[in-house]
A and B are shown apart, each in its own frame.
Chain A
Amino acid sequence: NAGVTQTPKFRVLKTGQSMTLLCAQDMNHEYMYWYRQDPGMGLRLIHYSVGEGTTAKGEVPDGYNVSRLKKQNFLLGLESAAPSQTSVYFCASADFSYEQYFGPGTRLTVT
């Protein structure tokens, strides 16, 4: 049982490049989330999903898109990366207890 996995673990992008972060969970959870973590700002919710085929905006959705075509996967896309998107990105999943299980994170640097 792997829990929540994230791919890749590290990435360096140039401004304007695009990329997709993949999150996968094997716990059959309905809810999935993407957060970013920045020093002094804690965790901020980017987008979330309450089930397969659904997505919704969180606190800081601008510059990001998401898709949840399969229940176990939640993809975060950056269409045109900016230095302000340099951050550590965490994916999480939860069942109806709202106890969230987090992935190990992706450290993204945009130069």
Chain B
Amino acid sequence: AQSVAQPEDQVNVAEGNPLTVKCTYSVSGNPYLFWYVQYPNRGLQFLLKYITGDNLVKGSYGFEAEFNKSQTSFHLKKPSALVSDSALYFCAVRDRPHSGGYLKVTFGIGTKLQVIP
């Protein structure tokens, strides 16, 4: 069964510093990987995804994520954090289709990012 782990409940970073939010995954085949962000009292918003190709994926709001197959990780990064980046971040995974049929997406439990002014 596929799974996602976000090992940190909360990440604190000073404004202007680089940030990393960690994610590791487990699937039986090759993964599709996603990051979503949730601001208070809002639904989740798509940030970026990895399907295939370049291991470094660029997304919305200056975020990027690096796919590392050997470490089964997909960490979210940003070179310079903003106070407005403070939110809840979710990593998600689904298995790559190999024989047709529907394969669901599994979400991590979320990591709260707090950017300190």
Contact = CB atoms under 8 A, between A and B. Distances in A.
B94 A98 contact: yes
A56 B102 CA distance: 10
Contacts, number: 47
Contact of A103 (B43, B46, B51, B110): B43
User: Which size class do B's interface residues fall under?
Assistant: 20 to 34
Given A102-B45, A104-B42, A58 B104 contact: yes
B102 A42 contact: no
Given A98-B32, A100-B44, A42 B104 contact: no
Interface string A29-44: 0010000000011110
Interface residues of A, number: 22
A43 B43 CA distance: 11
A98 B31 CA distance: 12
Contacts of A97: 49, 51
Contacts of A4: 43
State the main secondary structure of chain A at its contact with B.
strand
B108 A102 contact: no
A102 B104 contact: no
Contacts of B109: 40-42
A100 to B, nearest CB: 7
A45 B110 CA distance: 15
11 contacts: A41-B109, A42-B108, A42-B109, A42-B110, A43-B44, A43-B90, A90-B43, A92-B44, A102-B36, A102-B43, A104-B42
Interface of B: 32, 34, 36, 41-46, 49, 51, 90, 94, 102, 104-105, 107-110
